[in-house]
């Protein structure tokens, strides 16, 4: 660990499993923080369904198993919290209260990044990325998203919340230090991420939603290529070297292999990229 990294010397306890909390913990770790990942006896579900991704997110973290349902587990958590700076949780408020989390946060003056699904009266309603996206119009019925947008944006928001909480804590005196709670709402993260679609930018048929021949994917003779010629200079170059309408571009791209289109893009400074197939 580089002692000159911005969060060197700080300790994060992450009680969150699945995605948003571990994503935030990974970001804080990359900034130099020591991360202690506390997992229940059953472990983190991500470790079972996507072990390589789990290892990526928890790289460099100290992983400990604690059963928070018994007194010994709570005592162990208190011991860790006494030496920590940030606590990340991803549970409903009533569950956190049942574990005595608010008291731990206050007792040790922690920055508590509390990741919840909904705000206000809905704070104790269960949800997941799929349901948050459903509420904000970023799902195509009959399919599931390839990217868990609410979880990813929520993880980034949790990272920012942690940094904001640390800055706020710096303004406290040692005598008057108290816990700081920063709530991150995944439903709000989904709403924020849905902004481009909500305003017609990326919705079906929108400028970045397939409505422009200059910004979309095209089948090639052996795959597919993404064309991002939004700016006038790029659009003009595409029109000169390939075409400017859907039909012309579809026929042209389908007639040659992807490698030839990559060569053309390099020769004429065009933003083309082969479409990588998901594994």
Place of tokens 């008057």: 176
Number of domains forming the structure of the chain: 2
Within this chain, do residues 263 and 144 fall inside the same structural domain, yes or no? no
Beginning with the edge strand found earlier in the chain, give each strand of the sheet holding 272-274 in spatial order: 215-219, 224-228, 272-274
In a domain, 1, yes or no: no
Within this chain, do residues 270 and 157 fall inside the same structural domain, yes or no? no
Question: Which residue among 163, 198, 233 closes a domain?
Answer: 198
Q: CB count, 10 Å around CB of 226?
A: 14
Query: What tens-digit pLDDT sequence spans the chain (279 residues)?
Result: 567 899 999 999 999 999 999 999 999 999 999 999 999 999 999 999 999 999 999 999 999 999 999 999 999 999 999 999 999 999 999 999 999 999 999 999 999 999 999 999 998 999 999 999 999 989 888 989 999 999 999 999 999 999 999 999 988 766 566 899 999 999 999 999 999 999 999 988 999 999 999 999 999 999 999 999 999 999 999 999 999 999 999 999 999 999 999 999 999 999 999 999 876
pTM of the full predicted structure? 0.90
Q: Tell me, what DSSP letter sits at residue 255?
A: T
Within this chain, do residues 172 and 229 fall inside the same structural domain, yes or no? no
Within this chain, do residues 226 and 191 fall inside the same structural domain, yes or no? no
Give the tokens for residue 18.
Answer: 């699945």
Spatial contact of 38 and 13, defined as CB atoms under 8 Å apart: yes
Within this chain, do residues 55 and 129 fall inside the same structural domain, yes or no? yes
Nearest to 54 by CA among 86, 87, 26: 26
Give the HSE-up count for residue 219: Cα atoms under 13 Å, Cβ half-sphere.
6
Within this chain, do residues 113 and 182 fall inside the same structural domain, yes or no? yes
Whole domain around residue 18: which residue ranges?
11-198
Within this chain, do residues 187 and 226 fall inside the same structural domain, yes or no? no
Within this chain, do residues 51 and 135 fall inside the same structural domain, yes or no? yes
Within this chain, do residues 135 and 219 fall inside the same structural domain, yes or no? no
Task: Provide the 3-class DSSP secondary structure of residue 13.
Answer: strand
Residue-wise burial string across 5-21, b where 16 or more C-beta atoms lie within 10 A, e elsewhere: eebeebbbbbbbbbbbb
Spatial contact of 180 and 215, defined as CB atoms under 8 Å apart: no
């Amino acid at each position: 660990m580089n002692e000159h990294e911005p969060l060197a010397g700080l300790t994060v306890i992450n009680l969150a499993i699945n995605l948003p909390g571990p994503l935030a913990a990974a970001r804080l770790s990359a900034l130099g923080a020591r991360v202690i990942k506390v997992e229940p006896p059953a472990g983190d579900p991500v470790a079972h369904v996507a072990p390589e991704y789990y290892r990526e997110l928890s790289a460099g973290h100290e992983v400990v198993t604690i059963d928070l349902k018994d007194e010994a587990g709570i005592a162990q958590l208190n011991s860790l919290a006494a030496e920590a700076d940030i606590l990340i949780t991803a549970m409903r408020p009533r569950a956190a209260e049942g574990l005595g989390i608010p008291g731990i946060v206050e007792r040790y003056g922690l920055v508590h990044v509390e990741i919840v699904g909904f705000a206000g009266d809905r704070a104790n309603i269960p949800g997941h990325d799929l349901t948050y996206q459903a509420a904000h119009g970023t799902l195509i019925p009959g399919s599931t998203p390839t990217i868990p947008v609410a979880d990813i944006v929520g993880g980034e928001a949790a990272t920012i919340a942690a940094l904001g909480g640390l800055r706020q804590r710096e303004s406290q005196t040692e005598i008057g230090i108290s816990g700081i709670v920063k709530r991150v709402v995944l439903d709000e993260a989904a709403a924020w991420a849905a902004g481009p679609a909500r305003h017609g930018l990326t919705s079906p048929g929108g400028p970045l939603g397939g409505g422009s021949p200059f910004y979309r994917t095209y089948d090639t003779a052996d795959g597919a290529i993404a064309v991002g010629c939004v700016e006038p200079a790029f659009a003009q170059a595409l029109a000169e070297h390939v075409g400017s309408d859907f039909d012309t571009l579809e026929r042209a791209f389908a007639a040659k292999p992807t490698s030839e289109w990559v060569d053309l893009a390099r020769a004429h400074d065009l933003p083309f990229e082969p479409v990588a197939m998901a594994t």
